[in-house]
Structure 1
Amino acid sequence: MSRLPFYLLVGVLMIAGIALSVHRHVQFEVPWTPGEQRQVWEIEAQVNFTARGGPAMVDMALPSHQKGYRVLTENTASPGYGLSFLEDERGRRAEWSIREAAGSQQLYYSVQLLVAPDARPPQSRRPELQEVVWERPFDTAASQVIERAWQRSATPFTFARELIRDFNDDRQGENARLLLNQFDRAPLLVRLLNEAGVHARVVSGLMLEDGRRRQSLSSWVQVFDDDRWSLFNPVTGEQGRPDNLLMWEDSGQAVLEVQGGTNSRISFSMIQHNQPAAAAVRNQLANDTLINFSIHSLPLEEQALFQTILLIPIGALVVVLLRVLIGIKTSGTFMPVLIALAFIQTTLMTGLIGFLLIVAVGLVIRSYLSHLNLLLVARVSAVIITVIAIISIFSVLSYRFGLNAGLTITFFPMIILSWTIERMSILWEEEGPKEVLIQGGGSLLTAVLAYLAMNNPWVRHITFNFLGVQMILMSLILLLGNYTGYRLLELRRFKPVTED
């Protein structure tokens, strides 16, 4: 049978993938390497609430130009709603309105922020001191807490730092515990600061982490000393603004206000990508056409998900190379790829230790189950429950011992781990421990190599920004699938010939 159609298909896929990638780089100036020029954050806010059936208004705070970040573009998705962007003494805000709405409602707001180290925030106006009124016995507790921190401070900033530390677990007294039982931490600190004559307010910020979904805002305390101000973490007392903190609302107002609805909430998804400065300003990645096909037009939550999914073909190529050309045996065809995905979430060392512990303990328990003569479905189900129990126990123990990295083993695919334990156990019974070590070691080696390939920043950037690469990977895998020669490890059979 002629192989010409096969090679034509491979050639078309290879040429199309290269052409699409080159077109995207030249026409839209998407860089080949990550961080080549400019960094852009895309953030999507999703507002959910339940409308009562009448008029509804939604008022949401918006980010503005600030230190380190500059707003490029803004977009909203709110079918049937009127929308206005307002700017007053409360800051920048978006106001949605509708005459009649009932049931669950979803509103979307997305913004592109250019990372601009030279950007400077507008002058922040000092808030007025609030008149603080305490009920008994909170008035006495507040006075004693303020007095204790005041004696150990010299400026508004040092007073704020000492005050916050008095509410930490290691220095928390009875007065602090009494106040925390009645008030939320950040508003409580502002009340105490105001009573002591220090100008302060609660502001809301978003911690930027690439690929995160369904995140919420965190509260920070902004303290003023004349015309200067500084941010304080209300939990740790650390002073200063973290580099990855985006101030979403910085005037002390509510982030979200809903009239005509209940159960309102807001969540954030974010993703970071790199572009040349000109492309970042023009925002051409949002203008998708058939030729410029990309996933940048999807909501941010789906983009963050696809950033990981698009790495799977890289892992598949590694598996094909190792199995077809080298001849490494693995337990399951693509189980190493799924384990490599788990390693991306857990880090390599934590993932390796967690995988070995789970499989080792699972094999011991599985050896007992084999004596019960259970049917296959019941036995595998019992192994799945066992794996869940093992992961739960390891997570609790690691947390108790202060090893927070151990909590990430929950990212392991439990069904795959269960089948791995089942296959290893059967292999042990039929072929012996040597074959278990060969296939288990091969699986781990493949998973580690796939992890190193998939977690490379250059690979992550290329696969996410150039979908033509998927066609190139497909053509390479098809070519490898056509290989019928000897595997590298099979050449050991010819060793006696060389000795003769």
Structure 2
Amino acid sequence: MHSRKPFYLLVALLFISGLAASIYRGIEHNVPFLPGKQVQSWAVDAKVRFQATGEPAEVSFSLPEDPAYEVLVENATSPGYGLSITSDEEGRRAIWSIRQARGQQDLYYKVTLIPTGVKQILATEEPATPEPYSWPATEQAAAEQAIEEVWSRSATNLSFAQQLNKALTASERSQNIELLLSSNRPAQLFVRMLNSKGIPAQAVSGLFLEDQRRRQQLVTFVEVYHDGQWHLFNPVDGSQGRPDNLLIWDRSGKSTLDVIGGINSQVNFSMLQDTRSALATSIDVMMNNDALDFSLYQLPLEEQSLFKGILLIPIGVLMVVFLRVIIGIKTSGTFMPVLIALAFIQTTLLTGLIGFLLIVAFGLTIRSYLSKLNLLLISRISAVIIVVIGIIGLFTLLSYKFGLSEGLTITFFPMIILAWTIERMSILWEEEGAKEVFVQGGGSLFVATLAYLAMSASWVQHWVFNFLGIHLVILAMVLLMGQYTGYKLLELRRFKPLAGE
């Protein structure tokens, strides 16, 4: 007797692989596990304005690159300007250029962002130890005293930054701090004092995202490196950590906006919060990251629509196997109920049931006449196919004449399958009687209805198309049920008298 261990290992491998692939796709690519899920998005507009002097003009503007937000779509409006977007180790920048410009110039940059949930800013590499700042003679003594005073109250680089931030924003600051703040901006002084102790720190520009706000300005923060991570500080109010609605716009440490050939440059921001489909968002993200390889979404829309129907068939097959092997329901044909269920998806359930019953009833009537002609099997089946096409055409015309638009969908029924169903039921009627025809016909409709209910569920359609690994799970379940050799549930009623005794 052959061991079943290889079989059960195969089933387990299929099940685990399919489940793991589906979970990975949901977590790694942010594909929602349920249809209809919405995510928040932010549309941010940046308006760059300057006065051109009539010379060649070049505008360099930093672009957002924040791990907490994913860039979905970005575009720029700049009539007459050439535009290029560069990316290097210092970040991304948009560069507008024109040979000659005069008067007021307005350039626009628009970006759509979605939150990723990543709040930490991890360093890609160990930053170099900064050079100590060379203090002016009038500030050197005050700076050294203030730094040493705070240094004595700290234990690590991070705690030193925390204590220094508190000292700079205290309500009653020391005279040394007051002197230094008189000639240094808070963020600038914070970075210089940290660098004086060899602690990597840099000023960054952030934008607070608030719905329907206009003419907003960038806010300066300071990020301090400690143990592979950049920690954010606000040197104005003394807070530490990242606010939930903060978008870090520029981390290069350089100016956000540089204009050559113009004066009085400024940039203002407007923003708007919106909701969008989580599935469409994940597709856009994968497209931006070139992660759509071997995905059905890279196919043309017509082929995608075709596969959405094809990938529902395994669900119907699973229902048929369960209802026939485990429950014991008899059907006319093995997988005819699956094809009927597919037709029900196009026609709706009630219209499909009525259409199926009418076609089969008329088909059986005409088939009974054909049986008296003693035709060969091929000719008889061919005649039945032609008759079924005629019946469908007749019902479609009658539905159109009476204004029953639902009846027009009857053309979605598989004509060849219907012809074979009529032929099988006719032979069954002659050999087994009308009762067996009603049992198998009713069983077929019952199984087709349950398969339709499973295949038409929105979450099922979402899963089978977006999580292809689920088909490995279905295959594992079908193989497992194929090993079942016990009694079917409907057969147990035969043993009820024995159980009663």
TM-score band, normalised by shorter chain: 0.5 to 0.7
Aligned position for 1:194: none
The total of aligned residue pairs comes to 276
Aligned position for 2:345: 344
Larger Rg belongs to:
2
Q: Where do 5+ consecutive residues of structure 2 fail to align?
A: 42-71, 81-111, 115-275
Supply the distance in 1 between the matched residues of 2:309 and 2:438 (Cα, whole angstroms): 30
Deviations 1:466-487 (A, max 9, x none): 0000000000000000111100
Match of 2:297, SS state, is coil
Residues 1:282 and 2:285 are matched in the alignment: yes
Aligned position for 1:354: 355
Q: Where do 5+ consecutive residues of structure 1 fail to align?
A: 41-71, 75-85, 89-113, 117-272
Q: Give the direction of change, closer, same or farther, for the CA distance of 1:30–1:487 in structure 2 (3 Å limit).
A: same
Deviations 1:421-441 (A, max 9, x none): 000000000000000000000
Aligned position for 1:23: 24
Q: Give the direction of change, closer, same or farther, for the CA distance of 1:372–1:2 in structure 2 (3 Å limit).
A: same
Q: Give the direction of change, closer, same or farther, for the CA distance of 1:404–1:466 in structure 2 (3 Å limit).
A: same
Aligned position for 1:370: 371
Aligned position for 1:498: 499
Deviations 1:371-395 (A, max 9, x none): 0000000000000000000000000
Residues 1:430 and 2:437 are matched in the alignment: no
Give the residue type in structure 2 aligned to 1:459. Answer: V
Residues 1:482 and 2:483 are matched in the alignment: yes
Q: Give the direction of change, closer, same or farther, for the CA distance of 1:405–1:496 in structure 2 (3 Å limit).
A: same
Supply the distance in 1 between the matched residues of 2:485 and 2:416 (Cα, whole angstroms): 33
Supply the distance in 1 between the matched residues of 2:277 and 2:456 (Cα, whole angstroms): 17
Deviations 1:31-87 (A, max 9, x none): 0000111599xxxxxxxxxxxxxxxxxxxxxxxxxxxxxxx779xxxxxxxxxxx99
Aligned position for 2:447: 446
Deviations 1:313-335 (A, max 9, x none): 00000000000001000000000
Aligned position for 1:238: none
- TM-superposed deviation, 1:286: 7.8
Supply the distance in 2 between the matched residues of 1:24 and 1:306 (Cα, whole angstroms): 19
Supply the distance in 1 between the matched residues of 2:434 and 2:428 (Cα, whole angstroms): 8
Aligned position for 1:407: 408
Q: Give the direction of change, closer, same or farther, for the CA distance of 1:393–1:18 in structure 2 (3 Å limit).
A: same
Supply the distance in 1 between the matched residues of 2:381 and 2:430 (Cα, whole angstroms): 16
Deviations 1:250-270 (A, max 9, x none): xxxxxxxxxxxxxxxxxxxxx
Aligned position for 1:393: 394
- TM-superposed deviation, 1:299: 1.4
Supply the distance in 2 between the matched residues of 1:318 and 1:333 (Cα, whole angstroms): 12
Asked if 2 retains the 8 angstrom alpha-carbon contact of 1:285 and 1:296, the reply is: no
Supply the distance in 2 between the matched residues of 1:479 and 1:18 (Cα, whole angstroms): 16
Q: Give the direction of change, closer, same or farther, for the CA distance of 1:330–1:278 in structure 2 (3 Å limit).
A: closer
Matches within 5 A, 1:74-473: 274-275=277-278, 279=282, 281-284=284-287, 287-288=290-291, 293-473=294-474
Match of 1:372, SS state, is coil
Supply the distance in 2 between the matched residues of 1:368 and 1:39 (Cα, whole angstroms): 65
Aligned position for 2:207: none
- TM-superposed deviation, 1:281: 4.9
Asked if 1 retains the 8 angstrom alpha-carbon contact of 2:331 and 2:440, the reply is: yes
- TM-superposed deviation, 1:288: 3.8
Supply the distance in 1 between the matched residues of 2:288 and 2:18 (Cα, whole angstroms): 18
Supply the distance in 1 between the matched residues of 2:79 and 2:358 (Cα, whole angstroms): 56
Supply the distance in 1 between the matched residues of 2:289 and 2:338 (Cα, whole angstroms): 31
Q: Percent identity?
A: 64
Give the residue type in structure 1 aligned to 2:423. Answer: E
Give the residue type in structure 1 aligned to 2:447. Answer: T
Supply the distance in 1 between the matched residues of 2:283 and 2:469 (Cα, whole angstroms): 21
Asked if 1 retains the 8 angstrom alpha-carbon contact of 2:292 and 2:298, the reply is: no
Asked if 1 retains the 8 angstrom alpha-carbon contact of 2:337 and 2:447, the reply is: yes
Asked if 2 retains the 8 angstrom alpha-carbon contact of 1:31 and 1:274, the reply is: no
Supply the distance in 1 between the matched residues of 2:395 and 2:279 (Cα, whole angstroms): 45
Supply the distance in 1 between the matched residues of 2:488 and 2:469 (Cα, whole angstroms): 30
Match of 2:418, SS state, is helix
- TM-superposed deviation, 1:279: 2.8
TM-score (norm 1): 0.52
Asked if 2 retains the 8 angstrom alpha-carbon contact of 1:35 and 1:274, the reply is: yes
Supply the distance in 1 between the matched residues of 2:349 and 2:365 (Cα, whole angstroms): 24
